[in-house]
Structure 1
Amino acid sequence: MNDFGGDVELRRLIDRQAIHDVVLRYCRGIDRMDLEAVRACYHPDAHDEHGSFAGTVDEYLAWIGRLLPRYTSTMHLTGNHLVDFRDDTPDLARSETYGMAFHRSADPSPRGNLITGFRYIDDFARRDGTWRIAHRVATTEWIKIDDPTTQWPIPTTMRTGHRNHTDAIYAPWPNT
């Protein structure tokens, strides 16, 4: 028996949501350049294979810490998300997430202004009651150059996102 009275389907529904939340928190961490939030999505001994990179979590964070500042903004959108649980081990799951990532740079180079289609194939493990990524393979499905001359400037009167802790998502909750 588990804390759901033996209801495996309810447990798996809750686990699926917890795993999906990790993927979404990872995307937020990347887009806000919050590397500690990204780190929290992985187990300390995790491994990541991401494009031309393969290595430990610390090595991955150092790698993206050098790459992300070249962009003025990134935005990751996720779509299809499927989770399969290991029948023999309830604390292991594999997740596949389809997504698109938008990269913007003040540099007109195509390397700085592109849209990519990707998939995350994540092996998740629940340790001490928490689901985190144990191994990730990020595939690139396609890349499209995004001509920066076709982008409209954002009016200075509009609130914009920030790639640090001054972003609105980190603002204190109002006392209402």
Structure 2
Amino acid sequence: MTEATDLAQRLDRVESRFALHDLVSDYCHGFDKRDWDRFSAIWWPDAVWDIGPPFGKFEASEGIAHVTKDILWPAWLASSHFTTNLVITFNGIDRATGVCDVDCIGTTSDGQAQTVSASYFDTFERRDGVWKIVHRKVKMYHFNPLPGVTLSAPA
């Protein structure tokens, strides 16, 4: 391996890490701001989003659109996702896995403040030079109401 080849591979790995971090962040921004274009752009058309109980597993663009637009967004008046501790492992040039923790706070459609804590287990693929999520498994640790709490903008 030449020094130039080694440098090119290392640079590709750095750029790929930034791209994968952006996917995780775009998930949060897209979902919370109800920005469908941003949210849908993170998934490959054949992706699987396995949210687990109580929601289920959703496949391909149609399934992800259905759960997002018809189930989750109507269920939440507002949400704020915060991801942290993203660990990325490359499994070749065009495939990687990632795990991160997420905390979400929001208000459900009935006005109830909720808190959610989970981990996201992702499989990323690069196709034609573009990284996207091909599989996301959600492991929830809690999904609980915050009785007596009202989330509202400052006065």
Shorter-chain TM-score category?
A: 0.7 to 0.9
- Which residue is equivalent to 1:95? 98
Structure 2 unmatched runs, 5+ = none
> Normalization by structure 1: what TM-score?
0.76
Letter in 1 for 2:150: Q
Q: Is the 1:41–1:132 contact (alpha carbons within 8 Å) kept by the matching residues of 2?
A: yes
C-alpha displacement of 1:60? 1.9
- Which residue is equivalent to 1:65? 69
Q: For residues 153 and 138 of structure 1, do their structure 2 counterparts lie closer, same or farther at Cα, with a shift above 3 Å needed?
A: closer
Letter in 2 for 1:142: H
Structure 1 unmatched runs, 5+ = 157-176
Does residue 54 of structure 2 align to residue 54 of structure 1? Answer: no
Q: Is the 1:121–1:138 contact (alpha carbons within 8 Å) kept by the matching residues of 2?
A: yes
C-alpha displacement of 1:133? 0.3
Q: For residues 126 and 113 of structure 1, do their structure 2 counterparts lie closer, same or farther at Cα, with a shift above 3 Å needed?
A: same
> Normalization by structure 2: what TM-score?
0.85
Letter in 2 for 1:73: A
CA offsets per residue over residues 46-66 of structure 1, 9 Å max, x none?
Answer: 111012321223212211212
Larger Rg: 1
CA distance in 1, matches of 2:18, 2:87: 11
- Which residue is equivalent to 1:128? 128
Q: For residues 72 and 99 of structure 1, do their structure 2 counterparts lie closer, same or farther at Cα, with a shift above 3 Å needed?
A: same
Does residue 42 of structure 2 align to residue 41 of structure 1? Answer: yes
Does residue 84 of structure 2 align to residue 79 of structure 1? Answer: yes
C-alpha displacement of 1:31? 0.3
CA distance in 2, matches of 1:65, 1:152: 23
CA distance in 1, matches of 2:154, 2:115: 23
Q: Residue 94 of structure 1: SS of its match in structure 2? A: strand
C-alpha displacement of 1:106? 5.9
CA distance in 1, matches of 2:109, 2:138: 26
C-alpha displacement of 1:84? 0.2
CA distance in 1, matches of 2:40, 2:151: 34
CA distance in 1, matches of 2:39, 2:69: 11
**Greater mean deviation of Cα atoms: 51-60 or 132-141:** 51-60
- Which residue is equivalent to 2:6? 6
CA distance in 2, matches of 1:96, 1:78: 10
CA RMSD of aligned residues (A): 2.1
Q: Residue 6 of structure 2: SS of its match in structure 1? A: coil
* Percent sequence identity over aligned pairs: 26
- Number of residues paired by the alignment? 149
